[in-house]
Amino acid sequence: MTDVARIWSYLSTEPLLWLTCTIVVYVGAEAVALRLGRRALANPVLFSVLIIAPILWLSGTPYETYFEGAQFIHFLLGPATVALAVPLHANLRTVARTAGPILAALVVGSVVAALSAVWLAKAFGLSDQVIVSLSPKSTTAPVALGISEALGGLPTLTAVLVILTGIIGAITVTPLMNAMGITDWRARGFAVGVAAHGIGTARAFQVNELAGTFAGIGMALNAILTSLIAPLIVALVL
């Protein structure tokens, strides 16, 4: 065995390589996004996936091997959800004053997101399994996987659909809200949090802290509501 092969065989069985790769690529993607002036299309998640996926494909690395390293980052989704309590607490007075609009926008946004996805997918003739996997697509990843699994969907497909939804929301929210002439940061943030979970929330935090806070609330509340309504919506359409 050559040295290179020996080093590779060590690296490819340890979590270090893919953990490092994920973080380094993300740091680079962030730097590029920043250089592009945080334009909506310059989404760091999208850039990172577009770089890492071909690396795995070219090196013949199965996703499972990659995930052994990347799981340490994936795990932080849970603590990050808990940490959303901090900006919420800092803006509690503003939020408490807005309880009515929040609840109404939550119910409407959550139902429209899930029902429109499931109904459109059915109209396109997609398979039942894909339809079920689509139903929690606006929900934050760890929650969506649980919902999909419980309803008989494919959790790995749901993960990808959730990420794609987040990227779409993060890319479209700024031009969409500007075109609609909406200047209320609370409303803008909340809508993207409900429709595009954590990736939308990350985008909202880049634009405005108040928008980010409301996005975080939208994401957390939608995680609760979607776990309750997704089974009903799937039963209704399928």
Partner 1 sequence: MINAIAVILSCQLAGEVAARGLGLPVPGPVLGFVLLLILLMLRPALAEAIGGTARGILAHLSLLFVPAGVGVVGNLDLLSRNWFPIAVVLVVSTVIAMIASVLTFLAVNRLSGGGHD
Nearer of residues 17 and 134 to partner 1, judged by Cβ? 134
Binding mask 184-223 for partner 1 (x = CB under 8 A): xxxxx-xxx-xxx-xx-xx--x----x-x---x-x-x--x
Nearer of residues 5 and 58 to partner 1, judged by Cβ? 58
| Interface positions, 13-52, toward partner 1 (CB under 8 A) | 22-23, 25-26, 30, 43-46, 48-49, 52
Q: Does 169 bind partner 1 (CB under 8 A)?
A: yes
Nearer of residues 6 and 97 to partner 1, judged by Cβ? 97
Q: Does 151 bind partner 1 (CB under 8 A)?
A: no
Structure tokens at 33: 């996004």
Q: Does 181 bind partner 1 (CB under 8 A)?
A: no
Query: CB of residue 233 vs partner 1: minimum separation in angstroms?
Result: 12
Q: Does 161 bind partner 1 (CB under 8 A)?
A: yes
Q: Select from 65, 137, 174, 237 the one that contacts partner 1 (CB under 8 A).
A: 137
Q: Does 12 bind partner 1 (CB under 8 A)?
A: no
Q: Select from 6, 35, 39, 74 the one that contacts partner 1 (CB under 8 A).
A: 74
Q: Select from 1, 79, 93, 235 the one that contacts partner 1 (CB under 8 A).
A: 79
SS (H, E, C) the chain: CCHHHHHHHHHCCCHHHHHHHHHHHHHHHHHHHHHCCCCCCCCHHHHHHHHHHHHHHHHCCCHHHHHHHHHHHHHCHHHHHHHCHHHHHHCHHHHHHCHHHHHHHHHHHHHHHHHHHHHHHHHCCCCHHHHHHHCCCCCCHHHHHHHHHHHCCCHHHHHHHHHHHHHHHHHHHHHHHHHCCCCCHHHHHHHHHHHHHHHHHHHHHHHCHHHHHHHHHHHHHHHHHHHHHHHHHHHHHC
